[in-house]
């Protein structure tokens, strides 16, 4: 697993290959969705009609926070320190809900205070190695950008574990895209709406 540590606001400047990584992941994700959700076709954007699936940024409500609550924003409260699960899929067993596919190219810590010193991820049965992010503490909004994106498929597990150094609030945003099979399951006007 290769990655780049940089400031979230300077991703394009410090990692110019980001656009090609994102485009490649988007293409792979759409191809997978068209194969899995056939005969549905990609709508080309956020809105879709019958026979199509749509694309959005990754919405928080597909995930649970470190306390096991469905996220309505990327902000969560760390009430203890040490190694702990920071984020999982919202479905039973930490899975991504049916009818959604996520293309993950990175993570951003949207606060100048970084409360996490290292992370590791598990996607389905694939365990990714630890990433020490202490050197990213010099950035205003530290980000980890993967040189190859990952697909979080529907009904597969996702877990993000981190070593939390201090208690308090932390906004951890997943960077990438999301494909949505059923238009009325995605409430784009209410970010806190429950997905069923």
What residues have CB less than 8 Å from 57, skipping those under 6 apart?
Answer: 176, 177, 178
Cα distance between residue 71 and residue 29, in whole Å: 23
Query: Is it the case that residue 186 has pLDDT exceeding 80?
Result: no
**How do residues 55-76 score in pLDDT, each as one tens digit?**
999 999 999 999 999 999 999 9
Q: Do you know the residue count of the chain?
A: 196
**How do residues 74-88 score in pLDDT, each as one tens digit?**
999 999 999 999 999
Cα distance between residue 47 and residue 28, in whole Å: 20
Q: How far apart are the first and last CA of the chain?
A: 33
Q: With the CA atoms of 83, 87, 90 and 94 taken in that order, what torsion angle do they form, in degrees rounded to the nearest 10?
A: -40
Backbone angles phi, psi at 50, to 5 degrees: -55, 135
DSSP state of 129: P
Domains of the chain by residue range: 3-185
- pLDDT at position 4 is 86
């Amino acid at each position: 697993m290769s990655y780049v540590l940089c400031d979230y606001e300077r991703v394009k400047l410090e990692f110019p290959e980001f656009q090609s990584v994102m485009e490649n992941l988007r293409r792979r994700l759409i191809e997978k969705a068209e194969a899995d959700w056939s005969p549905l076709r990609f709508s080309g954007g956020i809105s879709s009609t019958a026979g199509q699936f749509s694309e959005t940024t990754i919405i928080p409500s597909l995930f649970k926070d470190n306390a096991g609550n469905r996220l309505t924003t990327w902000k969560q409260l760390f009430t203890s320190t040490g190694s702990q699960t920071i984020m999982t899929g919202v479905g039973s067993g930490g899975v991504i809900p049916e009818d959604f596919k996520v293309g993950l190219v990175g993570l951003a810590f949207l606060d100048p205070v970084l409360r996490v010193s290292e992370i590791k991820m598990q996607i389905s049965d694939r365990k990714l190695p630890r990433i020490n992010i202490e050197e990213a503490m010099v950035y205003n909004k530290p980000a980890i950008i993967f040189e190859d994106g990952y697909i979080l498929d529907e009904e597969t597990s996702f877990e993000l574990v981190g070593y939390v150094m201090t208690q308090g609030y932390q906004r951890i945003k997943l960077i990438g895209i999301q494909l949505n099979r059923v238009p009325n399951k995605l409430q784009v006007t209410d970010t806190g709406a429950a997905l069923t």
